[in-house]
């Protein structure tokens, strides 16, 4: 498929992910994943990275710089983990962060997202 980028986003922790996935992915994608029973083995280096803030808001410019610095050396990263300020983010902020990561992660890299 020309022009299609594959980025794996893995949701971490025991929560109902379908509702959250629906905000990030279109329903046809979810239906396909469910129908095929797709799973992904995590392997490689996927460190938990900090969520940068500026004036109390997520600093997406700094996060992009962090992605550009890390992704050439890593297999992916983990967002909203122990150093990702997950407990201080609203659901809308987490969704915005996941969408940003999906748009700005190089093809073939994995994003693990902590949800609780």
Query: Domain limits of the chain?
Result: 8-114
Q: What is the mean pLDDT of residues 46-51?
A: 88
What is the dihedral sign for C-alpha 110, 104, 72, 50?
A: negative
Nearest to 17 by CA among 34, 5, 36: 34
Task: Give the pLDDT mean for 24-49.
Answer: 63
pLDDT at position 13 over 50: no
Selected from 3.30.300.20, 3.20.20.210, 3.20.20.70, 3.10.25.10, the CATH number assigned to the domain covering 8-114 reads 3.20.20.70
Phi then psi for 83, rounded to 5 degrees?
-105, 5
pLDDT-based confidence at residue 53 (cuts at 50, 70, 90)? very high
What is the per-residue pLDDT for 45? Answer: 85
């Amino acid at each position: 498929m020309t022009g299609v980028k594959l980025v794996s986003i893995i949701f971490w922790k025991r929560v109902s992910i379908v509702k959250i996935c629906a905000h990030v992915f279109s329903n046809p994608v979810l239906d396909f994943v469910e129908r095929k029973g797709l799973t992904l083995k995590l392997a490689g280096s996927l460190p938990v990275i900090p969520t940068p803030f500026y004036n109390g808001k997520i600093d997406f410019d700094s996060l992009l710089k962090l992605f550009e610095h890390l992704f050439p050396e890593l297999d992916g990263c983990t967002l909203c983990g122990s150093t990702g300020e997950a407990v201080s983010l609203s659901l809308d902020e987490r969704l915005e962060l996941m969408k940003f990561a999906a748009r700005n992660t190089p093809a073939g890299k994995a994003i693990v997202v902590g949800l609780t």
